[in-house]
Amino acid sequence: VRAILQRFGQREALLTLGCIVSGLVFSSLSPYFATPDNLVTIARNSTELLLIGLGMTLLLGIGGIDVSVGSVLGLAAIGVGRLLEAGAPPALAALAGPVAGLALGLVAAFVVVFGRIPAIVATLGLLGVYRAGIFLALGGSWLSGLPVGLTNLLAARIFGAPVSLLVIALAYGAVFVAVRLTPFGAHLLAIGHSEAKARLAGIGVRRVQVAAFVISGGLSGLAASFYVATYRNVEMTIGATLALEAVAAVVLGGTAVTGGRISLLGTAFGVILLRLLQNGLLLVGVPSLWQPVVTGLLLLLVLGAEALSGRLLLERLYPSALGAASPRETR
Amino acid sequence: MTPRVSPILAILGLLWLVVVAGLAVLQPAALALSTVTAVLQFSTILALVALGQALVIVCGGAGIDISVGGMVSLAVVLAMLLVKAGLSGVFLPFLCLALGLLLGLVNGFLVTRLRLLPLIATLGTFYVYSGVAVALTGGAAQAGVPAFLLPWGRGTVWGLPLPFLTLALPPCSL
pLDDT per position as a tens digit, A183-194? 888 888 888 888
Q: Could you tell me which residues come within 8 angstroms of residue B166 by beta carbon, excluding any fewer than 6 positions away?
A: B152
pLDDT digits (tens, 9 = 90+) for A11-30: 777 788 888 888 888 888 88
For residue A307, the chain B residue with the least C-alpha distance is B114
**What percent of chain A is predicted at pLDDT more than 90?**
25
**pLDDT band per the 50, 70, 90 thresholds, residue A96:** very high
Q: Could you tell me which residues come within 8 angstroms of residue A147 by beta carbon, excluding any fewer than 6 positions away?
A: A84, A85, A87, A90, A232
Considering A104-108, A226-230, A254-258, B148-152, the range whose residues carry the highest mean pLDDT is A104-108
Is the Cβ pair B131, A331 closer than 8 Å? no
So what's the pLDDT on residue B173? 66
Q: Which of these, A292, A199, A89, lies nearest to B133 by C-alpha position?
A: A292
Is the Cβ pair B127, A296 closer than 8 Å? yes
Is residue A317 helix, strand or coil?
helix
**Integer distance in angstroms from the first to the last C-alpha of chain A?**
24
One pLDDT digit (tens) per residue for chain B, 174 residues: 456 678 888 888 899 899 888 888 888 777 777 777 777 778 888 888 888 888 888 887 678 888 898 999 999 899 888 888 877 777 888 888 999 999 999 998 888 888 788 888 888 898 899 889 888 888 777 777 777 777 777 777 777 777 777 776 776 666
Q: How far is B117 from chain A, CA to nearest CA, in Å?
A: 8
Over 70: is that where the pLDDT of A210 sits? yes
So what's the pLDDT on residue A51? 93
Show which of residues 238-277 on chain A sit within 8 Å of chain B, judged by CB atoms.
244, 247-248, 251, 257-258
**List of E strands, chain A:** 157-158, 161-162
Under 8 Å between Cβ of A132 and A246? no
Under 8 Å between Cβ of B152 and B41? no
| Mean residue pLDDT across chain A | 83
**Cα dihedral sign for B112, B116, B120, B121?**
negative
Q: How far is B29 from chain A, CA to nearest CA, in Å?
A: 25
**pLDDT band per the 50, 70, 90 thresholds, residue A328:** very low
B123 → closest Cβ in A244, A290, A331: A244
Under 8 Å between Cβ of A26 and A217? no
Over 60: is that where the pLDDT of A325 sits? no
**Integer distance in angstroms from the first to the last C-alpha of chain B?**
23
Chain B residues with CB inside 8 Å of A291's CB?
A: 131
Under 8 Å between Cβ of B160 and B170? no
Is the Cβ pair A299, B123 closer than 8 Å? yes
Q: Could you tell me which residues come within 8 angstroms of residue B151 by beta carbon, excluding any fewer than 6 positions away?
A: B162
Query: B32 and chain A: CB distance < 8 Å anywhere?
Result: no
So what's the pLDDT on residue A68? 92
Is the Cβ pair B125, A248 closer than 8 Å? no
Q: How far is A265 from chain B, CA to nearest CA, in Å?
A: 20
**pLDDT band per the 50, 70, 90 thresholds, residue A118:** confident
Is the Cβ pair A299, B110 closer than 8 Å? no
Query: B123 and chain A: CB distance < 8 Å anywhere?
Result: yes
ipTM of the modeled complex: 0.75
Chain A residues with CB inside 8 Å of B133's CB?
A: none
List, as one string, the DSSP characters of A15-50.
Answer: HHHHHHHHHHHHHHH-TTTTSHHHHHHHHHHHHHHH
Q: What is the mean pLDDT of the segment spanning A41-69?
A: 90
Is the Cβ pair B135, A290 closer than 8 Å? yes
Q: How far is B67 from chain A, CA to nearest CA, in Å?
A: 11
Question: Cα separation of A93 and A85, whole Å?
Answer: 10
So what's the pLDDT on residue A217? 95
HSE toward the beta carbon, residue A119, CA cutoff 13 A? 24
Q: How far is A308 from chain B, CA to nearest CA, in Å?
A: 7
Question: Cα separation of B103 and A305, whole Å?
Answer: 20
Is the Cβ pair B124, A293 closer than 8 Å? no
Over 50: is that where the pLDDT of A104 sits? yes
B124 → closest Cβ in A291, A300, A326: A300
Query: A7 and chain B: CB distance < 8 Å anywhere?
Result: no
Instruction: Classify residue B156 as left (phi > 0), alpha (psi -120 to 50) or beta.
Output: beta
State the CB neighbour count (10 A cutoff) for residue B30: 14
Considering A177-181, A214-218, B26-30, B110-114, the range whose residues carry the highest mean pLDDT is A214-218
Per-residue CA distances from A87 to A80, A139, A146 (Å) = 11, 21, 10
State the CB neighbour count (10 A cutoff) for residue A56: 31
Query: A324 and chain B: CB distance < 8 Å anywhere?
Result: no
So what's the pLDDT on residue A327? 43
- Best residue in B112, B116, B122, B125 to probe A by mutation, most A CBs within 10 Å? B116
Q: How far is B158 from chain A, CA to nearest CA, in Å?
A: 34
Is the Cβ pair A244, B127 closer than 8 Å? yes
Is residue B168 helix, strand or coil?
helix
Beta bridge partners of A22: none
For residue B107, the chain A residue with the least C-alpha distance is A300
pTM: 0.80
Show which of residues 103-132 on chain A sit within 8 Å of chain B, judged by CB atoms.
120
- Best residue in A60, A282, A297, A299 to probe B by mutation, most B CBs within 10 Å? A299
Under 8 Å between Cβ of B95 and B83? yes
Query: B117 and chain A: CB distance < 8 Å anywhere?
Result: yes
